[in-house]
Amino acid sequence: MNRLQRSHQPTVSSVLDRISNTLRGIKRQYSANTLEPEAAHRQVDEEQAYPHGTKKYTPIIITDSKGYNLESQASTTTERDITWFCRKGARIRECREWLESSIETLIQEEGNIWVYVWAGTCDFTIKNGRYISLRTHDDSVVDDIIAETNLITQCIEAHPGSKVTILEIPLYSIVNWNWAAGISKNQIQSFYQHNKDLEEQIVSVNRKIREVNTSNISYSPKFSSDLTLIQKHRKGDRHRVTRRVQHRFELYFDGVHPRQLLSKVWLRKIEQQIIKDCWETSN
């Protein structure tokens, strides 16, 4: 594969600074409703979470192109200190191979590292021209991704003093991507089943990722929860309550890449976990 690129934090404009300061201190736990811009601003606290104690690990995130979206929203010292390695379209196998070939150098440069691998999005779908479709409708992709996470764990375990977390894969939308790419209304109909199958595959992978992380004594934020809106309705003479689940894919630019607010929310979640993982709290 082409070498994953170490991201460099760009100069932050005054406009971005104002936005970042406004969103500063968003709480770690979010419901779908808090991602309405007005509600998100109401959640803002003036207090900002700071790490306390001694830093034990350098946080490193290995990911695909969504990493660029999150890194651009960094506003706190902890967020800016994250080392990012991003590559557009990177599949989890490519991230694992890059980690295996680079880990010695990373440890020499950074000391003890805590690696957060955030990959797999590009494993579920395949791109044909401008449009994407489900790569497979069976569970083989689930097995392949989990096999890669186990190899990643083995790579880190071979280097005592370093740790790893597999970050959960957010839900995304084949339909929204293709619609943003200009597909016709007639053509789009065939992709709704792809969306349903994709959701099942991602949910299955994330369930297994939690098991992997539990074995590694680590934890990943649940990113998909920020896209899920559960509405309750009363139906029938007996007023039976039914639940309707909606996914708010409009929080993405194109069904895949998070917009500014969602990027900020996810980055803040990751930051809070990094503080727990990488700092030894003083008693």
How many percent of the chain have pLDDT more than 90? 72
| DSSP-derived secondary structure for the chain | -PPPEEP-PPPPPHHHHHHHHHHTT--S---GGGGSHHHHHHT--S------SEE--EEEEEESTHHHHHHTT--SHHHHT-EEEE-TT--HHHHHHHHHHHHHHHHHHHSSEEEEEE--HHHHEEEETTEEEES-SSTHHHHHHHHHHHHHHHHHHTSTT-EEEEPPPPP--HHHHHHHTT--HHHHGGGHHHHHHHHHHHHHHHHHHHHHHHHTT-----GGGGGEEEEEEEETTTTEEEEEEEE-GGGBSSSSSB-HHHHHHHHHHHHHHHHHHHEE---
Domain with residue 10: its CATH number is 3.40.50.1110
Kindly indicate the confidence band of residue 24, based on its pLDDT and cuts at 50, 70 and 90. very low
Q: Hey, which residues does 230 pair with through a beta bridge?
A: 245
Least confident of 35-44, 109-118, 152-161: 35-44
Q: What is the identity of the amino acid at 119?
A: A
Amino acid at 274: I
Count of domains for the chain: 1
Mean pLDDT of 201-228: 96
Which whole number is the average pLDDT over 101-111? 96
Give the domain range for residue 238. 5-280
Q: Does pLDDT of 23 surpass 60?
A: no
Instruction: Find the range with the poorest average confidence among 35-49, 213-227, 233-247.
Output: 35-49
Q: How far is the C-alpha of 259 from the C-alpha of 218, rounded, in Å?
A: 27
- Dump pLDDT digits (tens) for 35-88: 665 555 444 344 367 888 899 999 999 999 999 999 999 999 999 999 999 999
The pTM assigned to this predicted structure is 0.83
How large is the average pLDDT for residues 194-211? 97
- If one compares 19 and 91, the residue with the highest pLDDT of the two is 91
Question: pLDDT at residue 278 above 50?
Answer: yes
